[in-house]
């Protein structure tokens, strides 16, 4: 089991090249997640190679769309996904991870300290109750809610240039039709993530 080699090869397949120190941080995060998961059941995936694909590589997959961002909010972050891997890979971007589950936000806080991240913070709150001091370039989500519910839940956080990005296993026609197209437009981009056979896509949403 060559996790380090698989991580490097997988990220490069996504068009992402990182420093060795960043690959080391990503693996440290993965090992910490595995350790906590045995006690706190943070994620249903428990096999390390599968966790590498479904958590690390899947979380890194939207990075090319986020490269010019200064501030990003990760809503419903859970165990820090995709926020922690992206904060490691994008040290010049400030990441805020938001979740209402105190057990998961404790883990995120520990992961931030464990990985020595200076560009990441965690907020324990329901998204509907959270008000940010400044606007974000992007608000991202991963397996958080339907397209319409995601947009409705963060509408109070939208700045003049904020865009939304959600990670999907494919956007169905019924879900797409539920989005209020008088308020939002969206584009879907299919992805291939190494080690994942299921469909993957990124949906970028722009408020009108």
> What's the CATH number where 51 sits?
3.40.50.150
Average pLDDT over residues 83-103: 97
Instruction: Collect all residues with Cβ–Cβ distance below 8 Å to 152 and sequence separation of at least 6.
Output: none
Gyration radius from the chain CA atoms: 16
% the chain with pLDDT above 70: 100
**What's the confidence (pLDDT) of residue 44?**
87
Residue 1 has pLDDT above 80, yes or no: no
Element holding 151 (H helix, E strand): helix 147-154
Report residue 131 CA to chain centroid gap.
20
Output the CA–CA distances (angstroms, integers) from residue 33 to 26, 102, 113, 162, in the order listed. Answer: 11, 16, 13, 30
Residue 158 pLDDT greater than 80, yes or no: yes
Average pLDDT over the chain, rounded to an integer: 95
How many domains, the chain? 1
The pLDDT score that the predictor gives to residue 172 is 85
Would you state the structure tokens that stand for residue 113, as one six-digit string?
């300290």
pLDDT at 87: 98
pLDDT band, very low/low/confident/very high, at 160 (cuts 50, 70, 90) = very high
Q: Which domain holds residue 84?
A: 3-207
Residues 42 and 163: their CA atoms lie apart, in Å, by 28
pLDDT-derived band at 170 (thresholds 50, 70, 90) equals: confident
Average pLDDT over residues 144-161: 93
pLDDT in tens, 109-122: 999 999 999 999 99
Residue 41: what pLDDT?
Answer: 85
- pLDDT in the model for residue 85: 98
Q: Model-level pTM?
A: 0.96
């Amino acid at each position: 089991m060559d996790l380090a080699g698989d991580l490097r090869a997988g990220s490069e397949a996504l068009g992402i090249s990182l420093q060795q120190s960043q690959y080391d941080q990503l693996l440290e995060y993965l090992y910490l997640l595995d350790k906590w998961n045995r006690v706190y059941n943070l994620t249903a995936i428990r096999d390390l190679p599968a966790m590498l694909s479904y958590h690390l590589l899947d979380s890194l997959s939207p990075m090319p769309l986020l490269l010019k961002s200064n501030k990003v909010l990760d809503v419903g972050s859970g165990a820090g996904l995709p926020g922690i891997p992206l904060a490691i890979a994008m040290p010049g971007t400030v990441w805020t991870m938001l979740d209402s589950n105190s057990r998961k936000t404790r883990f995120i806080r520990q992961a931030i300290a464990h990985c020595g991240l200076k560009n990441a913070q965690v907020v324990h709150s329901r998204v509907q109750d959270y008000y940010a001091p400044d606007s974000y370039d992007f608000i991202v989500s991963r397996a958080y809610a339907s397209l319409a519910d995601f947009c409705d839940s963060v509408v109070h956080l939208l700045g003049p240039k904020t865009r939304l990005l959600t990670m999907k296993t494919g956007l169905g026609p019924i879900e797409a039709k539920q989005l209020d197209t008088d308020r939002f437009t969206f584009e879907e981009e299919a992805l291939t993530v190494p080690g994942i056979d299921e469909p993957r896509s990124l949906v970028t949403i722009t408020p009108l």
